[in-house]
Amino acid sequence: MKRWWLSSIVSLCVLAVPTVACAQMDPYFTAINVPVPQDTLMLMALPDFQVARTGPDFVTGMGMIEYGITPRWTAGVMGEGQKIGGLPLTYGGLRINTYARVFPHDRLFHFTLYGEYEDLNQAALYKMEVSGFGGEDLVGPLSLARRTPARTFEQRAIAYHDWGRIDVTANFISETDLDAPHDNSFGYAVGLFRQPRWTGMTVMPGMSPPPAWSPTRLGYGLEMIGALGNTGQFGIDWHREQAYLGPVFSYTLAPHWSLHVAPAFGLSAVSDPFMFRVGVGYSIDHVARRIARSF
What is the 3-class SS of 48-99, one letter each residue?
EEEECCCCCCEEEEEEEEEEEEECCEEEEEEEEEEEECCCCCEEEEEEEEEE
For residue 125, pLDDT over 60 is answered with yes
Q: What is the pLDDT of residues 159-198, one digit of tens each?
A: 999 888 999 999 999 999 998 777 899 999 999 999 999 9
For residue 144, pLDDT over 60 is answered with yes
Which domains are present in the chain?
Answer: 2-294 (2.40.160.40)
User: What is the reported pTM?
Assistant: 0.88
For residue 18, pLDDT over 80 is answered with no
**How far is the C-alpha of 43 from the C-alpha of 66, rounded, in Å?**
7
For residue 20, pLDDT over 80 is answered with no
Q: What is the pLDDT of residues 1-12, one digit of tens each?
A: 434 343 443 344
**How far is the C-alpha of 49 from the C-alpha of 74, rounded, in Å?**
28
pLDDT bracket for residue 246 (50, 70, 90):
very high
Q: What is the pLDDT of residues 56-108, one digit of tens each?
A: 899 999 999 999 999 999 999 999 999 998 889 999 999 999 999 999 888 88
pLDDT bracket for residue 216 (50, 70, 90):
very high
pLDDT bracket for residue 17 (50, 70, 90):
very low
Q: Region 253-265: what's the mean pLDDT?
A: 95
Q: Give the pLDDT of residue 204.
A: 57
